[in-house]
Amino acid sequence: MANDLGARASGVSGPPAAPDAPLARRLLPDTALVTRDGHLHVGGVDLLDLAQEYGTPLFVYDEAHLRTRCREAVVAWGDGVAYGTKAFLCKAVARLAHEEGMWLDVSTLGELQVVLAAGVPPSHVVVHGNNKSELELDAALDAGVGRIVVDSFDEIARLGKLTDRPRPATPEGGRHDVNGRPKVLVRVTPGVEVHTHEFIRTGQEDTKFGFSVASGAASKAVAALELLPTVELVGLHAHIGSQVFDVAHFEEAARVLGEFAAPLGLPELVVGGGLGVPYLNEEVAPTQQEWADATRQACMLAGVDARTRITAEPGRSIVAGAAITLYTVGTVKDLPGIRTYVAVDGGMSDNPRPVLYGSGYEAFLPRAVDAARPKVVRVVGKHCETGDVLVDRAHVPADLSVGDVLATPVTGAYGYSMASNYNKVPRPAVVFVRDGTANVVVRRETVEDLLRLETS
Ligand code: LLP
């Protein structure tokens, strides 16, 4: 399975790595350190000790890495830059992003509730969603969220109805403008097709998201919201897709958004998320700063006023590289003349991305991080279907054997957040590591959890 997401983007690949090259160190979290015995330590903790203590599969996040990525985003984009929580959400990560100065972008009631449960002030929450229910909008309005990004004419009607009555004051001041009106943005589709997997492209004309600039729907939405006296229209929003490597796509989207926005003179523009991250040895991605600089410049060239607040909502680029998933090898099956299957104790239930998007990952042994990886195997999970593949052509050390802890790096985004209980496999625990200590932030699911919803 090729890395569909990476391979199709232009300008992403460095020189192809030697097939048996060890794992590129830059795919590991910031605090990764290889000790003299060849073991991988992250956050000052030996990954093999973590596997021993907490079991596998296990998501291990480097807290320092998360904090650094958040700070970089704040430096690059400034006030209002929001972490796209769909990439990975639990209370610990919401708190951390808030502590580091980011706002939080949510797209369902569930995400909103987790973020509020973490203690994030509602004024720093941005609410998205292409089909927000009355219940969701009501909860957002009651909480007094910072921004609501409007996605459809039906939603405008719903908002009109829900804002037509006074709401009790929230404990937190400053949530609405002086007239107590919620601040809203219009989500527009700039008609830009990015080179990424079709399932995660969102800027094109044929999409369920937002209002098209080209068709005139975006202008109509702006006019409708300007006429709605119970909300305050503060800006425009566009998100062109995810795992985008080519800055030119962001520039093009910013140009279309900027040209549409300039005559309106609204104070805010949000360009969504989407910055790609390297998953494979040979992949290279732009930095947060490069993305921000290119976007700003394109907006300015399009005539956007220099005082406009231009921000973004990075998800993957904040959390992906922070985590490693640890598995235990359970079986090694050599099919002569065909291939070798290495089966681990997780699979598509903790990482559905290879199955969904053909995404590629590297694999390595935390006991021998710098070892050559001459053997090509297919790493599969324990689920009852042939498609349950984690790494189609994994390069691994020749002595990999049953009982080994096998790791996949760059699993911090859209892994745990898309995890399932397929085959009644309990979801893994999530551990944050920092300064030599490990903190379980989400415990492993149990059989009791699996039975919790059953009523007879
Ligand atoms: N803002 C909006 C409105 C979004 O829809 C998304 C992602 C983001 C921000 C964050 O984008 P990021 O920086 O993470 O690319 N499950 C897919 C990715 C789906 C992205 C959905 N929207 C995957 O595993 O590749």
Residue pLDDT, tens place only, 94-133: 999 999 999 999 999 999 999 999 999 999 999 999 999 9
Give me the percent of the chain exceeding a pLDDT of 90.
88
- Structural domain boundaries, residue 88: 63-320
Say yes or no: 262 and 290 in one domain.
yes
- Asked if residue 387 is part of any domain, the answer here is yes
- Asked if residue 413 is part of any domain, the answer here is yes
Q: What pLDDT is attached to residue 204? A: 79
Whether the per-residue pLDDT at 10 is higher than 80: the answer is no
How many domains in the chain?
A: 2
Say yes or no: 78 and 49 in one domain.
no
Whether the per-residue pLDDT at 177 is higher than 90: the answer is no
For residue 340, count other CB atoms closer than 10 A to its CB. Answer: 17
Backbone angles phi, psi at 392, to 5 degrees: -65, -50
Q: Decide: pTM greater than 0.75.
A: yes
Is the peptide bond between 57 and the residue preceding it cis, with omega within 30 degrees of 0?
Answer: yes
Does the beta carbon of 373 sit less than 6 angstroms from any atom of ligand 1? Answer: no
Q: Mean pLDDT, to the nearest integer, of 14-37?
A: 87
Say yes or no: 54 and 116 in one domain.
no
Whichever domain contains 95, its CATH number is 3.20.20.10
Backbone angles phi, psi at 207, to 5 degrees: -150, 155
Say yes or no: 306 and 339 in one domain.
no
Q: What pLDDT is attached to residue 120? A: 98
Residue 290 tokens read as 């490069």
- Asked if residue 287 is part of any domain, the answer here is yes
Measured CA to CA, the distance from residue 255 to residue 284 in angstroms comes to: 24
Q: Would you place residue 13 in the very low, low, confident or very high pLDDT band (cuts 50, 70, 90)?
A: low
Say yes or no: 19 and 164 in one domain.
no
Say yes or no: 101 and 222 in one domain.
yes
Whichever domain contains 379, its CATH number is 2.40.37.10
Q: What pLDDT is attached to residue 387? A: 94
Dihedral sign, CA of 169, 175, 178, 184? negative
Mutation pick for ligand 1 pocket among 237, 245, 313, 356 (CB with most ligand atoms within 8 Å): 313
Mutation pick for ligand 1 pocket among 316, 417, 420 (CB with most ligand atoms within 8 Å): 316
Whether the per-residue pLDDT at 214 is higher than 80: the answer is yes
Residue pLDDT, tens place only, 408-430: 999 999 999 999 999 999 999 99
Say yes or no: 140 and 200 in one domain.
yes
Assess contact for 83 and 104: CB atoms under 8 A: yes
Q: Would you place residue 324 in the very low, low, confident or very high pLDDT band (cuts 50, 70, 90)?
A: very high
Q: What pLDDT is attached to residue 27? A: 97
Measured CA to CA, the distance from residue 368 to residue 202 in angstroms comes to: 40
d(CA 96, ligand 1 centre) in Å: 19
Q: Mean pLDDT, to the nearest integer, of 72-97?
A: 98
Say yes or no: 341 and 301 in one domain.
no
Say yes or no: 316 and 343 in one domain.
no
Say yes or no: 194 and 71 in one domain.
yes
Q: What pLDDT is attached to residue 198? A: 73
Say yes or no: 304 and 439 in one domain.
no
Nearest CA to 124 out of 89, 152, 100, 156 is that of 100
Residue pLDDT, tens place only, 256-308: 999 999 999 999 999 999 999 999 999 999 999 999 999 999 999 999 999 99
Q: What pLDDT is attached to residue 96? A: 99
Last residue of a domain, one of 302, 320, 338: 320
Say yes or no: 330 and 420 in one domain.
yes
Q: What pLDDT is attached to residue 203? A: 67
Last residue of a domain, one of 320, 336, 359: 320
Does the beta carbon of 313 sit less than 6 angstroms from any atom of ligand 1? Answer: yes
> Closest Cα to atom 16, ligand 1: which residue?
414
End-to-end CA, the chain: 42
